[in-house]
């Protein structure tokens, strides 16, 4: 449906990914009219290609950004601090489908870990038990394998190698389920064909995305006005101190202002604080909803690393689901290892183009060529670890560089915590043991070029001075302004974030629809 620009009754959502797309679908189902602003185009799944280089250009958010600090990204890819998608569906188009619940103790990180120097730890203002029904609803919605009677996929070789090595060195918590990729036809989408291009956009729609599930669900209600190519620039505030609209650049480059009853920002943890900071006014000189000074701070991206092993016999890691299974044994909190929090070891494949960039950036030569010639003999694993929040790890506005709309570009600054370094070193030691236990003849441990899980820059807090939003994602400062993506995360946990983002969106939709119905907003 078309909603007029001067219509003051709709909810305006910025971003159509896991948070914004799910929120739109659920609000529309509850009778709420929604304007959904998406900076990128709507790409039919038929236009995806099983081609790494093409897909990166087709999907990635490549607007100017800057990475600074001690993290490897600032050195290796300073213009691309994060791998995000700019299209309807957001980064769900390239996510790998892993769908894990945050562990109960991870909601209590400050209590469980105690004070850690140079970290800004806090407990979430909600518990795993409170989120449990929304997790269940999210798993059913996404069709998560291994839950609610949904069968797992058959294991591929990459997972088999990881699982065999894990068990040989004493690990026992190994599984190849919890994937939002259809193992059988479901929700009008087919079963996976194991093509091996999960991160390039699923051509057959076996993988759940906001684009193939939540946005169409919202459209079927007749209450959604989807606007692709609409880049949100600033949020406006009225004389009563409440938000009343969003200024955006439309698909033809014209500036528009959509009036709103409520605004929900779900632009990923880089763009969400950026739009709040760019919305500074005389009343909000440090950025909208930023009385705490926490907007943009506490940026987290999961402690990440990749390792690849070469074997005498072929593995063909590229055949089948890209991230087909996980070892969970290191996900607990055990300070005896030399760090707080835990991590997952996730079997992971990379195609030749990406692997050549990851394995040794710029390191061309005989050793590199010989290694790449044995691509079909490789197995891979990804570290996904709990990243500690630090106030100085943050998204801020560049002092002089502007984007195509004349607004300051975001600067993503990360100085790695010693906890991150210790965790990564432990992972590399364990991976080497694991792969050598099953006959690896070479193990390489490159660093990823950019982050994929961007979290925490508008975090939840019980007290308004400690964060930006409350337990429902509602900003402490402005009651009709919400944050609806991974920016809300108080801590990162060791689990992939998408399932939690969807669960929080379902919970927020229930709360928001109730408040609208009671005319509290």
Give the integer Cα–Cα distance in Å for 234 and 86: 18
| Paired sense of beta strands 378-385 and 231-237, if any | unpaired
Q: Which residues contact residue 208 at a Cβ distance below 8 angstroms, ignoring those fewer than 6 apart?
A: 92, 97, 141, 142, 143, 180, 181, 182, 187, 189
Tell me, yes or no, whether 432 lies in a domain.
no
The torsion angles phi and psi of 304, rounded to 5 degrees, stand at -130, 150
The pTM score is 0.97
Tell me, yes or no, whether 325 lies in a domain.
no
Tell me, yes or no, whether 231 lies in a domain.
yes
Tell me, yes or no, whether 276 lies in a domain.
yes
**What CATH number does the domain containing 27 carry?**
3.50.50.60
Give the integer Cα–Cα distance in Å for 60 and 324: 23
Give the integer Cα–Cα distance in Å for 98 and 145: 10
List the domain range (segments joined by +) for residue 270.
1-57+82-144+200-300+454-521
Query: Total domain count for the chain?
Result: 1
Tell me, yes or no, whether 16 lies in a domain.
yes
Tell me, yes or no, whether 187 lies in a domain.
no
Tell me, yes or no, whether 253 lies in a domain.
yes
- pLDDT given at position 448: 72
Q: Locate 3 and state its tokens.
A: 């909603």
The torsion angles phi and psi of 27, rounded to 5 degrees, stand at -65, -45
From first to last of the 521 residues of the chain, give the pLDDT tens digit.
Answer: 899 999 999 999 999 999 999 999 999 999 999 999 999 999 999 999 999 889 989 999 999 999 999 998 998 889 989 989 999 999 999 999 999 999 999 999 999 999 999 999 999 999 999 999 999 999 999 999 999 999 999 999 999 999 999 999 999 999 999 999 999 999 999 999 999 999 999 999 999 999 999 999 999 999 999 999 999 999 999 999 999 999 999 999 999 999 999 999 999 999 999 999 999 999 999 999 999 999 999 999 999 999 999 999 999 999 999 999 999 999 999 999 999 999 999 999 998 888 887 776 556 788 888 888 999 999 999 999 999 999 999 999 999 999 999 999 999 999 999 999 999 999 999 999 999 999 999 998 887 767 779 999 999 999 999 999 999 999 999 999 999 999 999 999 999 999 999 999 999 999 999 999 999 99
Partners of 307 in the β-ladder: 381
Give the integer Cα–Cα distance in Å for 506 and 140: 12
Buried b (16+ CB within 10 A) or exposed e, 81-102: bbbbbbbbbbbbbbbbbbbbbb
Give the integer Cα–Cα distance in Å for 110 and 105: 10
């Amino acid at each position: 449906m078309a909603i007029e620009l001067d219509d003051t009754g709709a909810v305006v959502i910025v971003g159509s990914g896991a948070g914004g797309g799910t929120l739109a679908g659920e609000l529309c189902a509850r009778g709420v009219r929604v304007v959904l602003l998406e900076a990128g185009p709507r790409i039919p799944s038929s236009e995806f290609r099983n081609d790494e280089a093409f897909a990166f250009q087709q999907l990635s958010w490549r607007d100017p950004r800057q990475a600074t600090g001690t993290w490897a990204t600032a050195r290796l890819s300073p213009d691309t601090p994060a791998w995000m998608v700019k299209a309807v569906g957001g980064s769900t188009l390239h996510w790998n489908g892993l769908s894990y619940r945050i562990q109960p103790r991870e909601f209590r990180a400050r209590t469980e870990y105690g004070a850690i120097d140079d970290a800004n730890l806090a407990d979430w203002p909600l518990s795993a038990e409170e989120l449990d029904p929304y997790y269940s609803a999210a798993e059913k919605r996404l069709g998560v394998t291994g839950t609610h009677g949904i069968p797992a996929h058959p294991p591929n070789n990459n997972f088999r190698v990881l699982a065999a090595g894990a068990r040989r060195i004493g690990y026992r918590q190994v599984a190849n389920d919890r994937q939002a990729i259809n193992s059988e036809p479901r929700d009008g989408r087919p079963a996976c064909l194991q093509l091996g291009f999960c991160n390039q956009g699923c051509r057959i729609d076996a993988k759940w995305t906001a684009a193939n599930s939540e946005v169409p669900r919202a459209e079927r209600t007749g209450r959604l006005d989807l606007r692709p190519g609409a880049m949100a620039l600033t949020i406006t505030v009225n004389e009563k101190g409440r938000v009343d609209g969003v200024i955006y650049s439309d698909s033809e480059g014209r500036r528009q202002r959509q009036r709103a009853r409520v605004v929900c920002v779900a632009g990923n943890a880089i763009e969400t604080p950026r739009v709040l900071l760019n919305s500074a006014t005389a009343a909000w000189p440090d950025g909208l909803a930023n009385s705490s000074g926490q907007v943009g701070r506490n940026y987290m991206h999961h402690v990440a690393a990749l390792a690849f092993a070469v074997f005498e016999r072929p593995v063909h890691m590229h055949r089948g689901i890209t991230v087909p299974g996980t070892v969970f044994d290191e996900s607990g909190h055990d300070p005896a290892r030399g760090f707080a929090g835990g991590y997952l070891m996730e079997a992971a494949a990379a195609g030749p183009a990406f692997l050549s960039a990851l394995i040794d950036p710029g390191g061309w030569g005989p050793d590199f060529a010989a290694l790449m010639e044995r691509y079909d003999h490789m197995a891979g694993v990804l570290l996904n670890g709990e990243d500690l929040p630090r106030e100085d790890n943050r998204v801020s506005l560049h002092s002089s560089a502007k984007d195509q709309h004349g607004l300051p570009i975001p600067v993503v600054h990360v100085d790695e915590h010693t906890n991150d370094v210790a965790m990564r070193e432990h992972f590399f030691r364990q991976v080497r043991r694991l792969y050598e236990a099953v006959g690896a003849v070479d193990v390489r441990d490159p660093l990823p070029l950019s982050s994929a899980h961007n979290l925490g820059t508008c975090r939840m807090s019980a007290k308004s001075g400690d964060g930006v939003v409350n337990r429902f994602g509602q900003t402490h400062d402005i009651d009709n302004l919400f944050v609806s993506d991974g920016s809300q995360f108080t801590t990162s946990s060791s689990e992939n974030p998408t399932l939690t983002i969807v669960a929080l969106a379902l919970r927020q939709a229930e709360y928001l629809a109730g408040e609208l119905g009671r005319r509290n907003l």
